[in-house]
A and B are shown apart, each in its own frame.
Chain A
Amino acid sequence: MTQRKKPLFLSWLQLRKERARLLVAIAGISFADVLMFLQMGFRGALFSSAVEFHHSLNGEIVMLSSRSRSLIALDRFTERRLYQAAGVTGVASVSPIYLNSLQWRNPENKEIWEIYAIGINPEHQVLNIPGVAANRARLREPDTVLFNLGSRREFGAIARRFQAGETIITEIDQRQIQVRGLFKLSPTFGINAYLVTSDVNFLRMATFRQGGLIDVGVIKLKPGADVQAVLAEMRSRLPNDVKVMTRDDYAKAEVAFWNASTPVGYTFDLGVVIAFIVGAVIVYQILYSDVTDHLPEYATLKAMGFRDRYLLIVVFQEALILAVLGFVPGTAIALGIYRITNLATMLPMAMDIGRIVFVLILTAIMSSLSAAIAVRKLQTADPADIF
């Protein structure tokens, strides 16, 4: 025959008939998808926020103490190492950075909060952050700082008041300072807020820190220099109390630290797995009761000469229809919660197409797995039993 009759869309007709069950299934899958998106969102926000500082460094190579592991697990090294490295062919400039948590006094309620201070040479473009690049000249003046636009409200409404033109004066480690500009750097799971100041001001505030013992060295190369060759040369020249690496490797090491050396990465991965299982159980329950309710009808179809394969396809189609119908509202709700979480915590909760595709695939696998278990019930549909 030329034009065969269009087949009936049995799976959808069957799902559509039981509205309540369909809604429960969609709600269940949406819920599982929202959970997965949130776990992945938090995990992604954690990692992208944790390396925002790293990616802002204006240099191809980073020098650290060999005992440094993360921004929250640093060790100091003498800046002489950095100047030794400056002698390697291909290096354009080097800049030291001081890092330390300091005591910020909220000027509104006088509460003390830890703030992560970054001390840079104001003559150098050390950080590629617009607010820092524009305002760093102001840090030449004594007791001046740049404040973090994305910081949590515990630190006071600094950004809003500064933008309104107010003069902000408060104390850091009992030293009076003035906010002279704003920059944007997201808080991380380990750091609530940053401030940027000059190296000189940093050492005035952090009286316990010794000048010349730095935390991070930024090394900028001349155009066309071979990064790997320069790294190899530095490693052969420098003693092993410091390590050098590319900026990307520095960021990767930070992510690896959070992933492996803290429970955070594991926690969120486990969250995704649990959401997946919850979703699979819900879909399985729905499909199993659906198949059970329709067993006599399936047996009738077998008696009419339908192959087992036809019924298998019907159940798998139902699973995939449910997956898609649950995924759409699930994604919409997740986007809303991302936005709310971003506003409430300043964490950079961002959706990307890769994650959307990944969750869609997980949802499809989740539903298919449930269908694969539920169809075992189909074998009990014996066409000889219907007479």
Chain B
Amino acid sequence: MSRLSEISPPETSIPAISIRQLNHYYGQGSLRKQVLFDINLDIEPSEIIILTGPSGSGKTTLLTLLGSLRSVQEGNLSILGQELLHATKEQMTLARRNIGFIFQAHNLLNFLTAYQNVEMALEIQEVTEAEADARIRAVLSAVGLKDRMDYYPSDLSGGQKQRVAIARALVSQPKIILADEPTAALDKKSGRDVVEMMEKLAREQGCTILLVTHDNRILDLADRILYMEDGYLVNRSDITATVQ
């Protein structure tokens, strides 16, 4: 199991993600511009959250902070009980190993087959050869790519590539999945298929999903919808009402 859960209290007692008074700035000196304002948020384990809002509202910045891809500047942010304020580079790298990322572009390694791309996620996990093989095959079958395991990304369609990316994010059985516009490059049908698949697999593994999207067609899949505008998390009953 991951290092973090060993040093954390029992998981039921702590939120998967906890944010207190988080501010974030870009630039230096007189060019310094605040992009996140006083964000407070708790996300419970196995919750599925959709984060939406206009472009430039700070969604992606928040996501990169949650993903430990950017250093926290002000406020508190803890992932699975680990505080990321003042985290070292090594701590940030290790924190990422508990998170599955799904990107807008699939970001697969073009010189690896679908199977090998999924295998990459297990390179930094403690698994045996047999277990790794079983898990890779299972997750690729679950995303419907059983017959495409040895294909290179260049031989797969957009939807298929995104499904490989989902398989790669899920194979290490992360506690949290962060997804940024996973449906942006897909048509309506395959976009919805992909998110439903994510949701189904995540529910089976009991993992928390935070999904940034503009795509109204998938809002109904969320447990909770957060709306962001000009760097603030705001209440928008009209949007959050979609969930019922």
Contact = CB atoms under 8 A, between A and B. Distances in A.
B96 A387 contact: no
Contacts, number: 84
Contact of B70 (A4, A5, A297, A384): A384
B191 interface: no
A13 B124 contact: no
What range describes how many residues of B lie at the interface? 35 or more
**Max count, chain B CB within 10 A of own CB: residue among A7, A297, A387:** A387
B218 interface: no
B128 A4 contact: yes
Interface string A268-309: 000000000000000000000000001011001111111100
Contacts of B101: 300, 303-304
A14 B94 contact: no
A384 B109 CA distance: 17
B129 A304 contact: no
Interface string A242-274: 000000000000000000000000000000000
Which of B60, B111, B128 gathers most chain A CB within 10 Å? Answer: B111
Nearest to A14: B111
Interface string B114-131: 001001111110111101
Interface string A13-25: 1101110000000
Interface in B82-123: 90, 93-97, 99, 101, 103-105, 107-112, 116, 119-123
A299 B128 CA distance: 26
A2 B127 CA distance: 9
Contacts of B127: 1, 4-5
A8 B123 contact: yes
Given A4-B126, A13-B116, A304 B111 contact: no
A16 B113 CA distance: 13
Q: How large is the interface on A (under 10, 10 to 19, 20 to 34, 35 or more residues)?
A: 20 to 34
Interface in A1-45: 1-8, 13-14, 16-18
Interface in A96-125: none
Contacts of A305: 93-97, 99, 124
A297 B107 contact: yes
A131 interface: no
B243 interface: no
B64 interface: yes
B15 interface: no
A302 B94 CA distance: 10
Contacts of A7: 123
Closest CB pairs A-B (n = 5): A17-B111, A305-B97, A305-B96, A300-B107, A384-B69
7 contacts: A1-B126, A5-B122, A5-B128, A300-B101, A305-B93, A306-B124, A307-B93
